[in-house]
Structure 1
Amino acid sequence: MLSLLPSIALALAAPSAPGHAISGHAEVVTSPEALPATHERVRVFLGGTIDMGSAPDWQKQMIAALDNENVVILNPRRADWNPAWRPEADEPNFRQQVEWELAALDSADVIVLYLSPGSKSPVSLLEMGLHARSGKLIVLCPQGYWRKGNVDITAAKYGVEQVDDLAALIAATRRRIASLEQR
């Protein structure tokens, strides 16, 4: 389980509304909200373990840590997720979620991917495969993730940046944002 980093503990206590700027410069867009029409700021997609809402909310920690960045954070974890939605193409709410995630991934400049030990996260593996060659990925895949070997080999083959813990994931994301803002 993720431990809350002391440097972001206070930021987590601050309220934030999906789709609105939080106390700094970051704007959070949560599925199924519309993606911004213009692409004026770096977009960061928070991909990885959600496990139908049962996994620790690591996205909340990332959002708090990126609060002062001038970015749009694309968060697929939605508060109104209903596990009764069938994971089938003809299920309207499920389709809406998948289509939102695909659009958000395509529009993202940075894709943060956290694969939690003890989870399977098959959709996250699919997303990694789709974007491994894009140069957008930063991956945290700790020991204990069931397909860590596959992730490590794929990341090495396609030059995907990997980090060892949440603090390093946050730092790598900030560096990537800074490098994209300089373009």
Structure 2
Amino acid sequence: MIYTSTNKLPKKEKGKEYFFLAGSIDYHLQSNWRQEIINKTGSSVHFFDPTRIDHNELSNFKMKEHIKWELDALHISDKIILNFLPNAKSPISLVELGMYVSTSKLIVICPNEFYQSRYIKVLCNKHKTSIFNTINQAVQYLSENYETYN
């Protein structure tokens, strides 16, 4: 199941894991990294996807609701997959990294081309946070370490 900020957050089900898909968004790219991760998982995983195509057009009230939804979904997630796209600035993703780097929830994907990759890699290593250069490496890690992911 995929939940977006237009959905009410669910009550967590036993035997299911909940992953938040955090990270860079580029609406101009042909491929959608979030969908790629979803397509490579088993049915025991539920996803929180914060993507909103109308993000920049949201009223102040709707934006506040969207931000609250994201914060609540991050909080209840079992894992947070945080992907930095090579050419993005991703200020919100950097905030999310800071919020969760010292927890065991975070799985980071940060290619060397990302402008702050060296800083992110040192930070993740200091906090023993899983970090990968590619989505495929992260998916491989998930499939080897989480039964519900397969």
Letter in 2 for 1:83: N
Equivalent pairs counted in the alignment come to 147
How far does residue 179 in structure 1 lie from its aligned partner after superposition? 7.8
Over the matched positions of the two proteins, sequence identity in percent amounts to 25
Q: What are the residue-to-residue correspondences of 1:1-183 with 2, within 5 Å?
A: 27-40=1-14, 41-51=16-26, 53-54=27-28, 56-66=31-41, 68-79=42-53, 81-85=54-58, 91-178=60-147
**Residue-by-residue CA offset, 1:31-77 (whole Å, 9 max, x unaligned):** 231111234211011110015x44552111111111x2411111111
**Residue-by-residue CA offset, 1:84-116 (whole Å, 9 max, x unaligned):** 337xxxx11111111111011100111101101
Any stretches of 5+ residues in structure 1 without a counterpart?
Answer: 1-26
**Residue-by-residue CA offset, 1:139-183 (whole Å, 9 max, x unaligned):** 110011011122111101111101121111112223343289xxx
Could you tell me how far apart the structure 2 residues matched to 1:175 and 1:102 are? 28
Higher RCO (C-alpha 8 Å, min separation 6):
2
Specify whether residues 59 and 179 from structure 1 end up closer, same or farther in structure 2 by C-alpha distance, changes over 3 A only.
closer
- CA contact under 8 A between 2:17 and 2:78: conserved in structure 1? yes
RMSD across aligned positions (CA): 2.0
Any stretches of 5+ residues in structure 2 without a counterpart?
Answer: none
How far does residue 135 in structure 1 lie from its aligned partner after superposition? 0.6
**Other structure's SS at 1:123 match:** helix
Letter in 2 for 1:170: V
- CA contact under 8 A between 2:19 and 2:81: conserved in structure 1? yes
Could you tell me how far apart the structure 2 residues matched to 1:96 and 1:110 are? 22
Could you tell me how far apart the structure 2 residues matched to 1:179 and 1:82 are? 31
Could you tell me how far apart the structure 1 residues matched to 2:38 and 2:61 are? 28
Runs of 4+ in 1 over 6 A off after TM superposition: none
> TM-score, normalised on structure 1?
0.73
Specify whether residues 149 and 83 from structure 1 end up closer, same or farther in structure 2 by C-alpha distance, changes over 3 A only.
same
Specify whether residues 126 and 176 from structure 1 end up closer, same or farther in structure 2 by C-alpha distance, changes over 3 A only.
farther
Letter in 2 for 1:85: L
> TM-score, normalised on structure 2?
0.88
The structure with the larger Rg is 1
Could you tell me how far apart the structure 2 residues matched to 1:83 and 1:101 are? 16
Specify whether residues 46 and 82 from structure 1 end up closer, same or farther in structure 2 by C-alpha distance, changes over 3 A only.
closer
Could you tell me how far apart the structure 2 residues matched to 1:139 and 1:123 are? 14
